Structure 1
Amino acid sequence: MFESHTLKIHKDTPVFDGQFSNRCYSESVKTAFVDFRAKAIRSGRYSPENDQILTEQWSRIIVHLPYAFQGKRMFPDVFRHDRRHLPMWEKIIEEIGMEPFPEDFDDTPEGIEEFEKANDAYRRLISKTEEFKVFSESRIEKTQRASSLIGNQYTGSIFLALMSTMESDFKDGVEMQGKRVGLCGYGSGAKAKVFEGIVQPEWKEVASQFKLFERLNNRTPLDKDVYERLHRGSQKDSVLSPSAEFALIAIGGEGVLEGQRKYAWYA
């Protein structure tokens, strides 16, 4: 299956290392959270001595989801960082043992890789604790419902996760007005940003119009032949007639505009 009818002997493509990618994601989001926490302290938004920890203040945690369960698999690092000073962390240490630290390993490429593997394993242990499971179920689970029905997504994932939890809370009759929501954005260049929002009084009116899960349930399945034509770029007509939405109408060929996507609005 090819992107065009011309078979190319060589094509430059990025090399993907899934494990390394997950490490970059986890470390970048944790670093961004540390930065957000420091800014919150400086601005007076948060007092470590007097306030509940930030991740407990956030009723929902919206993260970049390239796949549905990325959030709950990668968030243990932030969960750990925000709780190391609490008595409950001693209980977790008793259950899963002490965490690995870089200084406990040789300062060599092999030692660094050994530490990373140990840290990956410890992250998985955290995710299996009852404390993290309860945390994830109450704050992350609703955000990944729509993603689990869609699959891979990138630039739109944080918005889809927000829609997913807002519509789910609306349908469940959960009152979210005034609640704080944490958001964690991430880009494949290992750059992350953590910020927060407060749910506004009009949230129910907005969420009731999403009809996100209704639209997902009414999708049109593609057979193999149609999918391959779309992948190759040989499908000339839209599978569905666009209505009240932007639609892709062209992709740039070779040259300066190669890969450029052009969209148009269809009323």
Structure 2
Amino acid sequence: MNIGIDKIGFYTPHLYVDMNKLAVARDIEPEKFTIGIGQEKMAIAPITQDPVTLAANAALGILTEADKEKIDFVIFGTESGIDNSKSAGVYVHNLLGINPHARTVEMKQACYGATAGIQLAKGHIALNPESKVLVLGSDIARYGLNTAGESTQGAGAVAMVISANPKIMVLEEHSAYLTNDIMDFWRPVYSDKAFVDGKFSNEQYILFFSKVWEQYKAKSSLELKDFEAICYHLPYTKMGLKALRTILDEGTEVDKERLVANYQVSTQYNRNVGNIYTGSLYLSLLSLLELNEDLEAGSRVGLYSYGSGAVGEFFTGILQPDYREHLHVNHHTHLFESRTEVTVSEYEKLFEETLPVDGSTLELDITKDPAAICLSGIEDNKRLYVKK
């Protein structure tokens, strides 16, 4: 049975800060951000957007009423959970009006959560071929103002419908994965900001890639020449290139040129959004599919997922006939073009706006937020959501 990505959508907040201007404000050479880590803009989540609303808005743009009836499993991958008990997916399930006879769970393993969701979805569909599964990867990356990780923040969500006989990409049989208990990045339950050992995390990202790549080749008998492109989890866009360069010598000059060119295309959306943790790999895939109009059906795309702490996985997909007809290019183009730049001082003010943690009631002004689904406030320790 062929199982894979039938639909894919994306959402990011309407506000962003220019990385050149942030660098100047931090007394850093702008090239360190734009070239050194490869970031141009960083999405800013206003207080009226959280991981729930980002995910709901991403899915809203791709789901039909028929999809909502067919979906019987909602899997929400995030490391920005809003509740230690209730799944963020349950809120999304309600906001989107999905079939009530569905399972809904939240997956957590750093940036790997959405990939775990896809693998779980594949098993469910193998047993229930008529089912559709909604997999969400939604996060707000926060490290703090004037911190080493500040330039790798971001906000956004990717939504995917996984099904049998998918219209966009069939996920192939073989997959290679690895787990090791390390402390390269973590966020204790008492902190709203992450902690990271940046140099160690970069080293582990590349080490994990090396190991799962070798394992994948052994399982599949495929080589570098068999790939049209490889997409990476992108905490920042230069990170994936560092990993890709470790295997380029396995191919010809033609292979190198093709893979590097497609890699650059795959980073364009991430370059203008920033790090969205669980959604970053799939935003990279979306960027490749929507911006490279010459990518042919039948092409094999490699996917490297990495979640600090750490779990890594390499798997592949084959693009389906007429896959471009099932993308939402115009919608995503409009999303990017309609965003508003904020100054560094405005960004800092927005960053410091946080929700109360003492049970206080709060009503938020959602009139300035153009999103269809917003967080409207808190009452009795409950988040209140509005679908306009």
- Identify the TM-score tier after normalising by the shorter chain: 0.5 to 0.7
Q: Is the contact between residue 376 and residue 386 of structure 2 (CA under 8 Å) also seen in structure 1?
A: no
Which residue, out of 234, 246, 252, partners 1:77?
Answer: 246
Answer with 235-244 or 135-144: which moved more. 235-244
Report the alpha carbon displacement of residue 60 of structure 1 after superposing the two structures with TM: 1.4
CA distance in 1, matches of 2:330, 2:318: 19
What's 2:316 paired with?
196
CA contact (8 A) 1:146 1:213 kept: no
Deviation at 1:69, TM superposition (A): 1.9
Cα distance in 1 between the residues matched to 2:247 and 2:219: 16
Summarize the alignment of residues 154-165 of structure 1 with structure 2, pairs less than 5 Å apart: 154-165=277-288
Distance change in 2, residues 1:33/1:232 (3 Å): same
Counterpart residue identity of residue 196, structure 2: F
How far apart in 2 are the matches of 1:189 and 1:249? 34
Report the 3-state secondary structure (helix = DSSP H, G, I; strand = E; otherwise coil) of the residue aligned with 1:62. strand
Matched, 1:266 2:387: yes
* Alpha carbons of structure 1 residues 40 and 265: separation in structure 2 relative to 1, 3 Å: farther
Matched residue of 2:316: which SS? strand
- Aligned-partner Cα distance in 2 for 1:221–1:34: 43
- Contact 2:375-2:386 within 8 A present in 1 as well: no
Q: Would you say the 8 A contact 1:29–1:78 is kept in 2?
A: no
Equivalent of residue 215 in structure 1, options 330, 335, 340:
335
Q: Indicate conservation of the 8 Å contact 2:205/2:306, yes or no.
A: yes
CA shift digits 1:170-208 (9 cap, x unpaired): 3xxx14211111110110113210000000113111235
Q: Deviations over 1:15-70 (max 9, x none)?
A: 533221110000011111122222214xxxx4xxxxxx2x2211111100011221
Please state which structure has a larger fraction of its residues in strand. Answer: 2
1:163, CA displacement in angstroms?
A: 1.0
In structure 2, C-alpha distance between the alignment counterparts of 1:192 and 1:14, rounded to whole Å: 19
The corresponding residue for 1:119 is none
Partners of 2:379 and 2:304 in 1: how far apart?
A: 32
User: Which of 241, 246, 251 is the aligned partner of 2:369?
Assistant: 241
- Which of 183, 198, 203 is the equivalent residue of 1:23? 203
Q: TM-score, normalised by structure 2?
A: 0.43
Q: Find the aligned partners of 1:76 and 1:251 in 2 and give their Cα distance.
A: 48
Deviation at 1:141, TM superposition (A): 1.2
Residue equivalent to 1:140: 263
Root-mean-square deviation (Å): 3.5
The alignment covers a number of residue pairs equal to 192
- What pairs up with 1:53-92 in 2 under 5 angstroms? 53=223, 55-80=224-249, 83=250
Identity among equivalent pairs (%): 27
Partner-residue secondary structure (3-state), 1:69: helix
Please list, as runs of the form range in 1=range in 2, the aligned pairs for 1:158-177 lying within 5 A after superposition: 158-170=281-293, 174-177=294-297
Is the Cα–Cα contact under 8 Å of residues 365 and 376 in structure 2 kept in the other structure?
no
Give a deviation string over 1:55-91, Cα, whole Å, max 9, x none: 22111111000112211122223335xx2xx8x7xxx
State the secondary structure of the residue aligned to 1:65: coil
Instruction: Name the structure with the higher helix share.
Output: 1
The answer to whether the Cα contact below 8 Å between 1:169 and 1:176 also exists between their aligned partners in 2 is no
In structure 1, the gaps of 5 or more residues are 4-10, 47-52, 89-129
In structure 2, the CA distance between the partners of 1:26 and 1:206, relative to structure 1 (3 Å rule), is same
Gaps of 5+ in 2: 1-143, 146-189, 356-363
Question: Could you say which structure has the larger radius of gyration?
Answer: 1
Scaled by the length of structure 1, the TM-score of the pair is 0.59
State the shift of 1:215 in Å: 2.1
Q: Which amino acid aligns with 1:60?
A: A
SS of equivalent residue, structure 1 residue 72: helix
Which amino acid is 1:237 matched to?
D
- Report the Cα distance in structure 2 between the residues aligned to 1:206 and 1:37, rounded to whole angstroms: 30
Following the alignment from structure 1 to structure 2, what is the Cα–Cα distance between the partners of residues 263 and 26?
41
User: Does the 8 Å CA contact 1:65/1:71 hold for their aligned counterparts?
Assistant: yes
